[in-house]
């Protein structure tokens, strides 16, 4: 099957990077990252990394941690994980340009309600994938400072545990992602 659901590309003079969201024959989703290097003889070499759905959240967290470290080491790189918009010259979408444009604008209350309904119907936390409000950022801090477990905070804010963990890391309340069984 390997249906491609989304594709976007980042290009430089010497390399192209393709980020493709696909669905495997068994129905699970995965991310394929392909690097195409242009050589002097006109040929291109390709390398591919596949990240399957069970590791996508960990992969994203590791990427965010790496970018945070790089931005501290190199002042020319500005990294704010809450603002992942990219200039049109650096990022060109082949499949989903309109959805990318819509993703970064504020949603109407009706659109938020619709997404919450879809999340609930699909077994996800109600606020999964929705933009964090300033109020929710304050609530996560307050809950954490009161000693609430991350799972309880996730339940209270209708978000996933990885989402709460990522927000706590962004706020500097957690230094590293806790491992299973390790108390926070």
Check residue 175 and give its pLDDT: 78
Looking at the predicted structure, is the pLDDT value of residue 105 above 70?
no
CB distance 7 to 95 below 8 Å:
yes
Maximum alpha-carbon separation in the chain: 62
pLDDT level of residue 159 (50, 70, 90 thresholds): very high
Q: Which one is predicted more confidently, 167 or 42?
A: 167
Specify the pLDDT at position 184.
Answer: 47
Q: How many CB atoms lie within 10 A of CB 27?
A: 8
Q: What pLDDT band is residue 58 in, cutting at 50, 70 and 90?
A: confident
Place of tokens 């594709």: 7
Q: What is the model's pLDDT at position 179?
A: 58
Query: For the stretch 114-131, what's the b/e string if a residue is b when 16 or more beta carbons lie within 10 angstroms of its beta carbon?
Result: ebbeebeeeebbebbebe
DSSP state of 53: G
Question: Predicted confidence band at 153 (pLDDT cuts at 50, 70, 90)?
Answer: very high
Kindly report the pTM of this predicted structure: 0.44
**Rounded distance, CA 46 to CA 15, Å?**
10
Take residue 67 and report the two structure tokens written for it.
């970018």
- In the sheet that holds 91-93, the strands lie side by side as 44-52, 29-38, 15-23, 3-11, 91-93
Q: What is the number of helices (H) and of strands (E) in the chain?
A: 6, 5
Q: What is the CATH number of domain 108-178?
A: 1.10.10
Q: Give ∠ CA 21-27-30 in degrees, rounded to 5.
A: 30
- Expressed in angstroms, the distance from the first to the final Cα of the chain is 41
Q: How confident is the model over 24-40, as a mean pLDDT?
A: 85
Q: Average the pLDDT over 40-58 and give the result.
A: 85
Contacts 24+ apart (CB under 8 A), 97-101: 100/8
Does the pLDDT of residue 136 top 70, yes or no?
yes
Q: Is the C-alpha dihedral spanning 161, 166, 168, 174 positive or negative?
A: positive
What pLDDT does 85 receive? 53
């Amino acid at each position: 099957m390997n249906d491609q659901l989304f594709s976007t590309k980042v290009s430089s003079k010497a390399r192209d990077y393709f980020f493709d969201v696909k669905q495997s024959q068994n129905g699970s989703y995965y991310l394929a990252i392909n690097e195409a290097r242009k050589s002097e003889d006109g040929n291109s070499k390709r390398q591919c990394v596949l990240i399957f759905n069970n590791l996508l959240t960990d992969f994203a967290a590791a990427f965010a941690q790496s970018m945070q470290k790089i931005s501290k080491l190199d002042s020319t790189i500005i990294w704010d994980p809450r603002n992942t918009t990219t200039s049109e010259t650096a990022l060109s979408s082949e499949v989903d340009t309109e959805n990318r444009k819509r993703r970064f604008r504020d949603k109407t209350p009706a659109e938020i309600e619709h997404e919450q309904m879809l999340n609930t119907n699909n077994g996800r936390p109600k606020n999964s994938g929705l933009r964090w409000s300033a109020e929710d950022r304050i609530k996560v801090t307050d809950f954490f400072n009161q000693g609430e477990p991350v799972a309880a905070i996730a339940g209270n804010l209708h978000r996933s545990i990885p989402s709460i963990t990522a927000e706590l890391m962004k706020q500097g309340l957690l230094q590293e992602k806790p491992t299973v069984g390790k108390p926070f």
